[in-house]
Structure 1
Amino acid sequence: MNAVIEHLARDEGHNFSKTLVEEIELVKGLGIKGDAHAGETVKHRSRVKADPTQPNLRQVHLIHCELFEELAEQGFSLGPADLGENITTRGIDLLGLPRGTRLHLGQAAVVEVTGLRNPCHQVEAFMPGLLRAVLVRGPNKTLIRKTGIMGIVLEGGMVGCGDPIVIEEPEMPHLPLERV
């Protein structure tokens, strides 16, 4: 199966869920035009409080739609943009990508993967029991964060629903994703 963009979303406010749209504009070095998390420095409220001069490694949030299907089997009813992602993908193992992977989106946009989204108490407030479902222990008791990945915009451009995603992995050795 080819990797594609299923859904797109943005939100000018710092709301947990975002608003679905048919297309978004990615802006080099900033993020998504019209989204509250766009900027060179951090925009996530807790990170701004800690140090507002930190570089923004969370300009774009991506989640694989297969997660919603997995969660539906556990009784959770979630849809695209509910967890605050900007881009919902299909056909790509986002959590298995190495740090530094470049995702070519549509005709021109390029997002570099910076790390994992760390699910927080807001996930539980949104839907009781959900945090336990997206933050699980794997083999060897390793913590698995399932709420997607974060990235920065290396090349801007318009991106639409149904656009292809081309994966460009970095040179070896590959670095695993960590929370950002």
Structure 2
Amino acid sequence: MNTTVSAVSSNGVYSFTKPNRDSITLLAGLGVEGDVHAGVTVRHRSRMAQDPAQPNLRQVHLIHQELFSQLRGAGFAVAPGDLGENVTTSGIDLLALPVGTRLHLGDEAVVEVTGLRNPCLQIDNFQGGLLKQVVGRADDGTLVRKAGIMGVVTTGGVVRPGDPIEVELPAEPHRPLERV
């Protein structure tokens, strides 16, 4: 299966959803050019309230297109950008990647995976009951977050729908993703 970028999205204002774009430009150490969440320090409002000086480990939000198919099967209508992601992927199990994985997007851009997105109650304001679909419990009781992953831009570049994605795993031992 081809591993590709399905859609790219950004928004210059705080909003739950992000409109799809023809392309986005990733800026090393900052995130998506013009996106409200771009910056060296944290830009998510709840995190800024806790400590505005903490490093921004959530510069780029990626979600796998396959999640939308699962959600449609549960009766929810969700499309790229609806959950606030910057990059929608196809053909890659983002949630199984270890911390430190480098995703080469298109010809130049590289995003290093930092952890899992921790979806909040705003997701139920978008569509009631959706939070229970993207956060659940495994058989052993551990919390399972399915709303995508977060990363930081290590190499900038333009990213477009249809661009290939190359996965570069970090040296072992691999660390599983945790909430960031």
AA aligned to 2:79 is G
| 3-state SS of 2:140 partner | helix
How far, CA to CA, are the matches of 1:150 and 1:71 in structure 2?
Answer: 20
Would you say 1:157 and 2:157 are equivalent positions? Answer: yes
How far, CA to CA, are the matches of 1:88 and 1:127 in structure 2?
Answer: 19
The one-character-per-residue Cα deviations of 1:113-152 (angstroms, maximum 9, x if unpaired) are 0000001000111110100111011121111101000000
RMSD, aligned CA: 0.5
Equivalent residue number for residue 91 of structure 1? 91
Identity %: 58
| 3-state SS of 2:131 partner | helix
How far, CA to CA, are the matches of 1:102 and 1:2 in structure 2?
Answer: 17
Equivalent residue number for residue 13 of structure 1? 13
Equivalent residue number for residue 30 of structure 1? 30
Equivalent residue number for residue 145 of structure 2? 145
Would you say 1:79 and 2:44 are equivalent positions? Answer: no
Equivalent residue number for residue 132 of structure 1? 132
How far, CA to CA, are the matches of 2:8 and 2:46 in structure 1?
Answer: 25
Q: Number of paired residues?
A: 180
- State TM-score, norm by structure 1: 0.99
How far, CA to CA, are the matches of 1:90 and 1:51 in structure 2?
Answer: 34
AA aligned to 2:4 is V
1:59-70 correspondence runs (5 A): 59-70=59-70
How far, CA to CA, are the matches of 1:139 and 1:170 in structure 2?
Answer: 28
The one-character-per-residue Cα deviations of 1:77-136 (angstroms, maximum 9, x if unpaired) are 110100000000000000000000000000010000000000100011111010011101
How far, CA to CA, are the matches of 1:58 and 1:96 in structure 2?
Answer: 18
How far, CA to CA, are the matches of 2:178 and 2:14 in structure 1?
Answer: 23
Unaligned runs of 5+ in 2: none
Equivalent residue number for residue 108 of structure 1? 108
How far, CA to CA, are the matches of 1:108 and 1:133 in structure 2?
Answer: 34
Equivalent residue number for residue 2 of structure 1? 2
Unaligned runs of 5+ in 1: none
